[in-house]
Chains A and B, each alone.
Chain A
């Protein structure tokens, strides 16, 4: 599998990362190197193996349903670039 520059552009956009036009081609090469390295795994015969979702041989532990957190607005908003009346304030996101 080889990535072209259009795909790299699209991935960058999905990740909200700005990439200059001139950097697209070198970035595609770098990503292709990584993918090529990972693709070595294709040599392993995985016939009949269950798809793995976790490397830990454990199942999910569950928490009892009780309120034990919240009411920490100052900490929640501590890093907000802009806040008003307890809200985060961001540039308008509706047309």
Chain B
């Protein structure tokens, strides 16, 4: 296994974190019933998001994932004596952009500090971070739950800091290998208020934050590569009472694990408290294989990071015009886009929520709806995407960006249904064919001769033949057993390889059998 970062990062002292929660009221369903009564879970997240940039926070080395060990490293990142940090403008821009996306206060003056600790993957002996004067102040994230409820999570701050290198413990027995490729990559640490009340809410917040970051283009959200990870602070209390002692679960790298870690940790703490025990404030790890958290290490003494302003760096000062320029370039964010999908396209809030969760999905949807100025039926488009399209993507384990069928191509298929060229049933087969071959719908329909038969003469002839061949069933119908109509429809569709216009088949059947 690989331990991705050191075990003792980011402990913002209580006096600097707004450790009061502004959230009033809660869903009583989120309370946990213990042996001795109800408990409320209090959760706050510190999310580390890797800034999307070409080069590192303080050096010109590349940030790309997966390079040969120690090749994406400059002498600055390796902390060679005399090397000096030079701040990357893109990191500042992306942090401001993220702050604006979270409706946060942008601090025109911010300061980089040194956070001192020793660990082999931190060659400087300190991490350059922001402590007293971060670049972004208070903001908020609106989180929607599956049941349609939504709630707001306060953001305390966002600060910029360096990532550490990577320690690999299982490569050589009794030794640790260090790769500094990630050392010095810019991270944003997004600190939430403890406004979250359940594992499901924590997962939904993490997911929403990821979605916003990806819309903004400030973090790619790739959790497998460690671009986004969460430290989850969990405590429990009796409803209305003071906050309990919290434990911090480090480096949780999936949305599902956030939920599982919170659920496990809350139960663990409640059990201890109900047995009369006390919670030790400590750092814990989530083990996804066992679905449990466990203590990372016994601390010999409390950490003392001895923060002080980094003398190699000057205060960062930006102006209102710079912020305004970034603000003007923000994309339509998911909440606003979802509201527009509801008002402009008449979608349900649920469908709109599904379609905007990923920026790529929303863009794909709009490409399907857009028929070159005209508009395709937005509900049919939504149904195709959330239905057959997602089904095939999942079955083929493809991301939307890798879909062999483009939005315009799916739109072309919908056009063929709309103008009666093919039936909805045939369309599903055509879609799978499109997905397999990447061809346009009309080409496939032409090649395979799938065009819907809407010629009443042709359909009449087929039906006449079926009635003539099956006098028994025809008599049954005429003597009042109208249920056999379905059987006749089936026969007619079979005889035409599913190409007969089903509505016309039904009309003609009634006409002919009824007489």
- Whether B53 pairs with A76 at a CB distance below 8 angstroms is no
- Kindly state whether residue B269 has any CB partner on chain A within 8 Å: no
Question: Scoring A residues 54 to 72 as 1 if CB is less than 8 Å from chain B, else 0, what string do you get?
Answer: 1010111111111111111
- Whether A87 pairs with B179 at a CB distance below 8 angstroms is yes
- Whether B176 pairs with A91 at a CB distance below 8 angstroms is yes
- Kindly state whether residue B354 has any CB partner on chain A within 8 Å: no
Q: A60-B313, A87-B168, A88-B178 are in contact. Are A76 and B75 (CB under 8 A)?
A: yes
Q: Which of A23-66 contact B (CB under 8 A)?
A: 53-54, 56, 58-66
- Kindly state whether residue A14 has any CB partner on chain B within 8 Å: yes
Q: How far is the CA of A66 from the CA of B56 in the complex (A)?
A: 9
Q: How far is the CA of A62 from the CA of B171 in the complex (A)?
A: 39
- Whether B62 pairs with A70 at a CB distance below 8 angstroms is yes
- Whether A65 pairs with B54 at a CB distance below 8 angstroms is yes
Q: How far is the CA of A75 from the CA of B180 in the complex (A)?
A: 13
- Kindly state whether residue A95 has any CB partner on chain B within 8 Å: yes
Question: Scoring A residues 1 to 37 as 1 if CB is less than 8 Å from chain B, else 0, what string do you get?
Answer: 0000000001001101000000000000000000000
Q: How far is the CA of A75 from the CA of B71 in the complex (A)?
A: 10
Closest chain A CB from B495 CB (angstroms): 66
Closest chain B CB from A41 CB (angstroms): 16
- Whether B73 pairs with A16 at a CB distance below 8 angstroms is no
Tell which of B113-121, B328-336, B468-476 binds the partner.
B113-121
- Whether A59 pairs with B88 at a CB distance below 8 angstroms is no
Q: How far is the CA of A83 from the CA of B75 in the complex (A)?
A: 17
Q: How far is the CA of A73 from the CA of B75 in the complex (A)?
A: 9
Closest chain A CB from B80 CB (angstroms): 8
- Whether B89 pairs with A62 at a CB distance below 8 angstroms is yes
- Whether A65 pairs with B88 at a CB distance below 8 angstroms is yes
- Whether A14 pairs with B55 at a CB distance below 8 angstroms is no
Closest chain A CB from B114 CB (angstroms): 12
- Whether B87 pairs with A60 at a CB distance below 8 angstroms is yes
Q: A65-B53, A65-B54 are in contact. Are A60 and B70 (CB under 8 A)?
A: no
- Whether B297 pairs with A89 at a CB distance below 8 angstroms is no
- Whether B167 pairs with A61 at a CB distance below 8 angstroms is no
Q: With CB as the reference atom, state the residue of chain B lying closest to A67.
A: B62
Chain B residues closer than 8 Å to A71, beta-carbon distance: 71-72
Closest chain B CB from A87 CB (angstroms): 4
Q: A62-B92, A67-B55 are in contact. Are A72 and B73 (CB under 8 A)?
A: yes
Other-chain residue from A72, A86, A94, A95 in contact with B68 (beta carbon distance below 8 A) = A86
- Whether A59 pairs with B70 at a CB distance below 8 angstroms is no
Chain A residues closer than 8 Å to B455, beta-carbon distance: none
Chain A interface, >50% SS class: loop
Q: A54-B315, A67-B61 are in contact. Are A90 and B87 (CB under 8 A)?
A: no
Size of the chain B interface, CB-CB below 8 angstroms:
53
Q: How far is the CA of A82 from the CA of B62 in the complex (A)?
A: 25
Closest chain B CB from A77 CB (angstroms): 6
- Whether B315 pairs with A53 at a CB distance below 8 angstroms is yes
Q: A70-B61, A72-B74 are in contact. Are A89 and B309 (CB under 8 A)?
A: no
Q: How far is the CA of A68 from the CA of B56 in the complex (A)?
A: 10
Q: With CB as the reference atom, state the residue of chain A lying closest to B171.
A: A87
Other-chain residue from B74, B172, B304 in contact with A14 (beta carbon distance below 8 A) = B304
- Kindly state whether residue B240 has any CB partner on chain A within 8 Å: no
Chain A residues closer than 8 Å to B54, beta-carbon distance: 65-67
Q: How far is the CA of A61 from the CA of B89 in the complex (A)?
A: 9
Chain B residues closer than 8 Å to A63, beta-carbon distance: 60, 86-89
- Whether B172 pairs with A89 at a CB distance below 8 angstroms is yes
Q: Which of B103-119 contact A (CB under 8 A)?
A: 111, 116, 118-119
- Kindly state whether residue B31 has any CB partner on chain A within 8 Å: no
Q: With CB as the reference atom, state the residue of chain B lying closest to A77.
A: B70
Q: With CB as the reference atom, state the residue of chain B lying closest to A82.
A: B175
B69, B297, B311: most-surrounded residue (chain A CB, <10 A) = B69
- Whether B61 pairs with A62 at a CB distance below 8 angstroms is no
- Whether A93 pairs with B119 at a CB distance below 8 angstroms is yes
Question: Scoring B residues 139 to 183 as 1 if CB is less than 8 Å from chain A, else 0, what string do you get?
Answer: 000000000000000000000000000011101101111111000
- Kindly state whether residue B59 has any CB partner on chain A within 8 Å: yes
Chain A residues closer than 8 Å to B75, beta-carbon distance: 69, 72, 75-76
Q: How far is the CA of A72 from the CA of B71 in the complex (A)?
A: 6
Other-chain residue from B62, B120, B314 in contact with A88 (beta carbon distance below 8 A) = B120
- Show the binding face of B for A, using Cβ within 8 Å: 3, 53-55, 59-62, 68-76, 78, 86-92, 111, 116, 118-120, 167-169, 171-172, 174-180, 297, 301, 304, 306, 309, 311, 313-317
Given contacts A59-B317, A60-B313, 14 further A-B contacts (CB under 8 A): A14-B306, A53-B315, A61-B86, A62-B89, A63-B86, A64-B89, A70-B72, A72-B75, A76-B75, A85-B69, A86-B70, A89-B178, A90-B120, A94-B167
- Show the binding face of A for B, using Cβ within 8 Å: 10, 13-14, 16, 53-54, 56, 58-73, 75-77, 82, 84-95
23 sampled A-B residue pairs with Cβ under 8 A: A10-B304, A54-B311, A60-B87, A63-B60, A63-B88, A64-B89, A65-B54, A67-B54, A68-B55, A69-B74, A69-B75, A73-B71, A75-B75, A84-B171, A86-B71, A89-B176, A89-B178, A90-B120, A90-B175, A90-B178, A91-B175, A94-B167, A94-B169
